[in-house]
Chains A and B, each alone.
Chain A
Amino acid sequence: MDISQLVFYMFAGLAVASSVLMITRKNPVYSVMYLVLTLFSVAAIFVLLDAHFIAALQVLVYAGAILVLFLFVIMLLNLGYDFDPDIRGKFWWVIGFGLGLVLFAELFVLARNAHQIPQSDAVARLLAERGAVGAVAEPLFENYVVAVEVTGVLLLVAMVGAVVIAKRRV
């Protein structure tokens, strides 16, 4: 086992552990913290998978923007103190983990077919030619520019919608 495998397993374990911790904390702020940790670990795994741009994007957007937004909301709603425990009872624990287990099993079965994926090194060549950013940016803005524009409109709509919905009725 070489070093990249070892690092991979380490970060994978970290991701899984922190995600489990996330869902079991009473304090929502702690949950956010653990989710940040999970996202960082996943970003590390991205790097190991040669997706450098995506890794950077993950840290910047997900961990940086979205989770900060979550924290702000928690702060606004004053949920960090005097909170009622909001984890469901024993019955739901059984159901939750049972279904999770079933889901995992099904996905595992699907994943076993992974070795049938043809191994090509097109991505590695692309990376080598254009660099990390260029490998992603050129196909994005050459072949999928329409999707990019649509995404822009979507973000605009989301922004306006968020303002409208959360606005205090005067």
Chain B
Amino acid sequence: MLFESLVVSAVLFAVGVAGVLLRRNAIVMFMCIELMLNAVNLSFVAISRYVGIEGQLFVIFVMTVAAAEAAVGLAVIISIFRHYESVDVRNFRLLRW
């Protein structure tokens, strides 16, 4: 079961990466990042079954940080939306001069 779990985790992670590259909507990109975090959680749990409880403890922390990050990130997106009237990342060119 360990190997299959790791494979599933890998698949989910790869899908998450593809999603980040494919989508222009900032919120959907964020969701794909959440998916990637989740895939990592899965692999942690899978391995912790044989190595020790520390894996699951780390998953708890990951989830906590993911929540905090989601909150702040969405606040940022809202703030940007007020300026650009859209969440399409194509319009955010401030990173250039």
Contact = CB atoms under 8 A, between A and B. Distances in A.
Interface of A: 4-5, 8-9, 12, 15-16, 19-20, 22-24, 28, 31-32, 35, 38-39, 42, 45-46, 48-51, 53-54, 57-58, 61-62, 65-67, 69-70, 73-74, 76-77, 79, 84, 86-88, 92-93, 95-97, 99-101, 103-104, 107-108, 111-112, 114-115, 117-120, 122-123, 126, 135-136, 139-140, 144, 147, 151, 154-155, 157-159, 161-166, 168
Contact of B67 (A50, A66, A166): A66
Contact of A154 (B38, B51, B65): B65
Interface majority SS (helix, strand, loop, mixed), chain B: helix
Given A12-B8, A62-B38, A84-B88, 17 more contacts: A9-B4, A12-B4, A16-B11, A22-B31, A28-B25, A54-B60, A77-B27, A88-B22, A92-B21, A97-B18, A100-B18, A103-B13, A107-B10, A118-B50, A118-B51, A135-B53, A158-B69
Interface residues of B, number: 69
Contact of A38 (B5, B22, B38, B53): B38
A81 to B, nearest CB: 14
Contact of A88 (B23, B31, B34, B53): B23
